[in-house]
């Protein structure tokens, strides 16, 4: 049974390390506990917290914070797929390792992404050429206003680049309870993205299996991304902007070296990190926060920053990128407050 606590610091529960306080807080170890908490906290605003690796608290959190900690992973299969279903509170990376230990591939490129299973569909997590939607089967969620359980399949979730209905039209309406993935038995690891092939060569792996790719991804990520346990951050702060082709062409005349990815739609995705670095922000410190020295897409807390300081920095960068390139950067991180 969850007990609702009052005035709890969330500092240890968010990877930015922001010292926000929750007016009311409950750790949810079993789904049934949610109902009791919602009953006790009737009419109070509700915030669902996972691993806190994609949130920026700019104020204290009013109402009730439900901290998901439900655990459990189960496996089934048919001719073509292994199906793995995990509770919302499972750590995403633990799930990846668990599937690999069961000799099931498909999640290896998503190794070491912080956070929990329940949050993975919210922004359709992705890395190294694979997104959650590529392996997603369905999810079960509690509709907060009616307390009804709803099942969502792939189409229902309307996944997009770092997006789903849970981050857009249905934001704040559901508590995701469990996620089911379909991992193909005929799986071939994806190694063509980023530095994976180079890293596998370095590791002397000639015909890589899923486990090898996971090890490669882990090593690459550890060398490139700041560890939140050492320096507060929430990974990529901004999404990579997508611009119409004519806009890309005009920028390319001025910046011939600008990297880009053509999309099937005809639009062009431009790495936000390149824009931020080009505008001179990489490694810059402003008070207690700044832009990471190795990765311009990551904003960092040097220890004592408030959420508002980090948000101000993010907005200053957004304005600057708009002035320099005429592009509006969208935040990937969920600003809470």
Ligand X SMILES: Cc1cc2nc3c(=O)[nH]c(=O)nc-3n(C[C@H](O)[C@H](O)[C@H](O)COP(=O)(O)OP(=O)(O)OC[C@H]3O[C@@H](n4cnc5c(N)ncnc54)[C@H](O)[C@@H]3O)c2cc1C
Catalytic residues: 162, 236, 332
| Choices 100-108, 125-133, 186-194, 251-259; region in contact with ligand X by CB under 6 A | 125-133
**Binds ligand X by CB under 6 A, chosen from 8, 34, 56, 68:** 68
Angstrom distance (rounded) from CA 41 to CA 149:
19
Pair 117, 87: CB distance under 8 Å: yes
User: Of 68 and 272, which has the nearer Cβ to ligand X?
Assistant: 68
- Nearest alpha carbon to residue 244 among 217, 219, 230, 263: 263
Under the binding rule (CB under 6 A), the answer on residue 175 touching ligand X is yes
Under the binding rule (CB under 6 A), the answer on residue 96 touching ligand X is no
Residues 6+ apart with CB under 8 A from 169: none
Longest dimension (CA), the chain: 62
Under the binding rule (CB under 6 A), the answer on residue 54 touching ligand X is yes
Pair 162, 199: CB distance under 8 Å: no
**Binds ligand X by CB under 6 A, chosen from 31, 127, 165, 300:** 127
Under the binding rule (CB under 6 A), the answer on residue 273 touching ligand X is no
**Binds ligand X by CB under 6 A, chosen from 17, 228, 290, 307:** 228
| Choices 30-38, 174-182, 243-251, 280-288; region in contact with ligand X by CB under 6 A | 174-182
Angstrom distance (rounded) from CA 93 to CA 86:
12
**Binds ligand X by CB under 6 A, chosen from 94, 247, 334, 337:** 334
Under the binding rule (CB under 6 A), the answer on residue 233 touching ligand X is yes
Task: Give me the helices (H) in the chain, please.
Answer: 31-40, 92-101, 154-157, 196-202, 210-224, 245-254, 272-278, 307-325
Under the binding rule (CB under 6 A), the answer on residue 121 touching ligand X is no
Pair 24, 5: CB distance under 8 Å: yes
**Binds ligand X by CB under 6 A, chosen from 225, 251, 300, 314:** 225
Interface residue list for ligand X (CB under 6 A): 15, 47-55, 68, 88, 113-116, 118-120, 122-123, 125-127, 174-176, 225, 228, 233-235, 334
């Amino acid at each position: 049974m969850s007990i609702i606590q009052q005035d709890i610091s969330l500092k240890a529960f968010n990877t930015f390390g922001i010292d926000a306080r929750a007016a009311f807080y409950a750790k949810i170890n079993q789904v049934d506990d949610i109902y009791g908490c919602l009953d006790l906290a009737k009419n109070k605003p509700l915030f669902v917290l996972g691993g806190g690796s994609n949130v920026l608290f700019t104020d204290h959190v009013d109402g009730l914070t439900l901290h998901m900690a439900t655990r459990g992973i189960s496996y089934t299969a048919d001719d073509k797929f292994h199906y793995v279903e995990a509770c919302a509170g499972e750590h995403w990376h633990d799930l990846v390792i668990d599937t690999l230990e069961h000799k099931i591939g498909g999640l290896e490129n998503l190794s070491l992404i912080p956070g929990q299973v329940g949050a993975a569909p919210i922004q359709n997590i992705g890395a190294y050429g694979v997104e959650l939607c590529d392996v997603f089967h369905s999810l079960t969620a509690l509709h907060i206003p009616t307390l009804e359980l709803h099942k969502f399949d792939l189409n229902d979730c309307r996944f997009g680049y770092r997006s789903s209905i849970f981050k857009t039209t249905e934001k704040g309406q559901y508590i995701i309870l469990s996620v089911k993935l379909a991992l193909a038995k005929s799986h071939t690891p994806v190694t063509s993205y980023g530095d994976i092939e180079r890293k596998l060569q370095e590791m002397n792996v000639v015909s890589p299996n899923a486990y090898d790719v996971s090890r490669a991804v882990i090593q690459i990520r550890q060398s490139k991304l700041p560890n939140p346990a050492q320096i507060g951050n929430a990974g990529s702060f901004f999404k990579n902007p997508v611009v119409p082709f004519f806009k890309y062409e005009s920028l390319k005349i001025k910046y011939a070296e600008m990297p880009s990815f053509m999309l099937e739609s005809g639009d062009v995705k431009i790495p936000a990190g390149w824009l931020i670095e080009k505008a001179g922000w990489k490694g810059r410190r402003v008070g207690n926060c700044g832009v990471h020295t190795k990765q311009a897409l990551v904003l960092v807390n040097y220890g004592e920053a408030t959420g508002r300081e980090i948000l101000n920095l993010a907005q200053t960068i957004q304005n600057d990128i708009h002035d320099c390139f005429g592009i509006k950067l969208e935040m990937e991180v969920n600003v809470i407050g």
